[in-house]
Structure 1
Amino acid sequence: MKTPMAGRRKYSIKLMDKNFGRNVLAMVLLTVFLYIFVLFAYVYDTTWGQTVSIDSPFLPKKHELWFAGLSNEEYRSMLLGGGVVRERDQVEVGKSDERYKYESGDKLPEFVDWRDKGAVGSVKDQGHNFSGGSWAFSATGSVEGINHIVTGELIPLSEQELVDCDEGFKSSVGVQIDHAFEFIVKKGGIHTVNDYPYKAVQGVCDQNVVNNSKVVTINGYGNVPQNDEYSLKKAVAHQPVSVSIEAGSRHFQLYKSGVFNGICGTELDHGVVAIGYGTEDGRDYWIVRNSWGTGWGENGYMRLERNVASTNTGKCGIAMRPSYPTKKPLTVCNNHYSCPESTTCCCVSNFGNYCYGWECCPVESATCCDDRSSCCPPEFPVCDTKAKTCLLSKDGPIGVKALGRSPARPNMRVMITSRKLIVP
């Protein structure tokens, strides 16, 4: 027999079960809402906000809507920077050389894209809270290109090292690029982006990294003849070229695809890399790699109108301040080892006529001494291994101290050059 109390207990249990289910559902919905709120806040902060961590693999890429959501003033302050070089200032800020001067009769390819040849790294992002760094991305892009052309290795280089350590940082964009090349030459090379990571802000030069051995070197740099798109075409046919442009117009800001023929002037405020050229439907264009991530333009690239009839500066001033790094081919020892340019390969380990161990003498056309640890310059070609000297002639009284050797480097792919290899 059921008592009234038992009935009330059963009803209470059912009511409690029902309320418990409602509470669980409410907690689940609240958790989902909080998760969506936190996710939205994170996306807002990293995509439209002011903080940025360039190297984070979890950051969403800048989207074209991000650029469209900025006023032109905000866009300029976030992404453009460096001193402005106007057309009338060009004679004062740079000197051209003749290496890539276009001559009547020069035969150049109709289409060039250094991406197809593996000489262009992935598109980088300078960040939107550091407007003055484009020159560093332009400089490293062209150095990465010439290094690949000469050595076969595509190595991402450190923009942060240039921003922190190059004293030419405060000058105009085009001059900054030249200063970057000078810095790399004087310091004996530049480190990789992994050795000296990008932080999107100018900091103090990290001497602990800078004083270590450099990874990529160049021998010098040159300036393409100014206001001459034919000479620029000749240069780009041979290697990626650093160029300065005016990128401040609303048309440039909102570029998505196609050959750009929108409004822009010649107040150079942004550094990029010209990595090729071509023609589409009768319209000539340059292929330009930018440093605003893959969400801008054609996955981070732009096709910029070329051979504009109304100006000799090129579209957006692209022909006003082109410059390029130079790098001599390596001295090749064999298919597996090479020495730096302007050196001599010396065999240290061989089996019969086959040499499988190499070292480098720091001068060209050197004599590799029998002690397999020293070498002599061509002016004093006779080795005196006991005295560790180099003589003008055998048993002669005039001599200099013998030179030391350094280990040869393994090759990935090298450019074959004429050389004299001496096996003692």
Structure 2
Amino acid sequence: MALVLIFLLAIRIFPATRASTLSSDLQALKDVKAAVDPSSIHSTTCLGSWDFAAADPCDSRSTSHFVCGIGCSSDDPLSRRVISLILDGSGYNGTLSPSLGSLTALQVLDFSGNSFHGTIPASLGQLTSLIKLDLSRNSFTGAIPDTISQLSNLSYLSVANNHLEGPIPSSIANLSTIERLFLHNNQLAGKIPSLDGLQRLSYFDASNNRLSELPLKLPVSLLQLSLRSNQLGGSFPQNLAQLQGLEVLDLSYNQFAGHLDSSLFELPSLQQLTVSHNQIASLGVPRLSNVESELVAVDISYNQLEGALPVFLANISRLSALSLRYNNFSGTIPYEFASKASSASKEVQPLMRLFLDGNYLIGEVPQPFLEVPGRFSASFIYNCLAKCPESFAFCQGGGQRPKSECPTL
């Protein structure tokens, strides 16, 4: 009995050590919650479970009070650091507390899919251990803070789908470890800064902004490049030929003019090419056979191309979707397009989508088009075709051009 009393007394005098959050990290977490409108915090959400009065967020035994959102280190149980902060997309409405900069061990910060507003605090530049930063799909305004360039370990950055404005900071070129960079759907303007030093950058999307100039060099590591719906203009960029690993390119809805060089069709890894809604006037014909090209989908619609349809496109074995609609092409529809659409060869992917509407094509629809399976989707309307049977879907939805608009034979 005496031994039992001594043991119980020892427990009261020397209680079991419990994990605790570093005091500065704990205060930062409190500030993060305090900056959010309480009316947008519901009891079933991550922030709704944060009860600092009841438990310590880094204590593994406090899961009933901190059910999600916070990840902590385990190396020092007496002074644990917050290493991840991932909020659910529950529509939190508030601002970002500058105290976030105190979470210097943070590796992941993800507040995407909410209603955070105001500016992105410059203090985020203090999070030098950060690997992923995702603030997308919120309502942030102002500029991208220049201090983001201090995040020397960052591999993923997304501030897409906000209301950010001003230029892309030139110092973003210092993010030497960045692999994915998403800036789309904002109001960013001006020149895209040099990205040549970003040797690991694979995915870059700055679509739907007001950007007006491309840099002279782009990272050769790029796999996907999307700059659609900007104000980019001038001659079509020649430096794209350097991107030998590029798989997806979308430069649609810009103001590029002049010649589209053949080197673009010769990129060995390119699968999707979209340059519609520009002012391209001519295409270069590749010097070599494109039978081994990886191109699957090509969209050059709504430009100013003229002359005969480019037959070399029909010789791309993997190509299954092609749109040349609303240009100024004339002449007949080449038999090669019809042959590819009806192909049953295992080596050649048949054309499954072909849009030639809105040109000045003449003659009749080649016979093989009338025999392709029902999976074929196409449109040949609003041309100058002598005969386009309305019993076929690709001749439906509108007639041909008035004779007054058609070339005189």
Instruction: Provide the TM-score with structure 1 as the length reference.
Output: 0.23
Instruction: Provide the TM-score with structure 2 as the length reference.
Output: 0.23
Compare the two structures and name the one with the higher helix fraction.
1
